[in-house]
């Protein structure tokens, strides 16, 4: 199992999270405020410098009003 933030699945996850934030009309700063984190937390997550835990992932998707299961299904379809 590839754990690199550069793996196909991780790249897809990051792109989907950025797209979800854009659809929600949120800046990185606004999203950070909604989850009680700094803008840099969101930025580092989106560029792959930081990996998300499950609870953090759910907090992000809840704040953006997106379905975490839908994102996970899309990531799962990617080659590892």
Domain chopping of the chain, boundaries: 8-77
Per the CB < 8 A criterion, the answer to whether 11 and 48 are in contact is yes
Using 50, 70 and 90 to split pLDDT, how confident is the model at 80? confident
Q: Report pLDDT for 3.
A: 59
Instruction: Check residues 5 and 44 and name the one with the higher pLDDT.
Output: 44
Instruction: Check residues 6 and 27 and name the one with the higher pLDDT.
Output: 27
For domain 8-77, the question of CATH label 1.10.260.40 is answered with yes
Using 50, 70 and 90 to split pLDDT, how confident is the model at 5? low
Per-residue model confidence as pLDDT tens digits over 34-66:
999 999 999 999 999 999 999 999 999 999 999
Q: What is the dihedral of CA 21, 61, 13, 70, to 10 degrees?
A: -110
Give the contacts of 43 (CB within 8 A, at least 6 positions apart). 28
Q: Any idea how long the chain is?
A: 80
């Amino acid at each position: 199992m590839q754990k690199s933030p550069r793996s196909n699945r991780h790249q897809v996850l990051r792109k989907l999270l950025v797209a979800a934030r854009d659809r929600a009309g949120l800046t990185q700063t606004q999203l950070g405020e909604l989850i009680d984190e700094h803008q840099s937390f969101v930025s580092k997550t989106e560029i792959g410098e930081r990996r998300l835990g499950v609870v953090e992932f759910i907090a992000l998707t809840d704040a953006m009003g997106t379905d975490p299961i839908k994102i996970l299904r899309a990531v799962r379809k990617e080659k590892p």
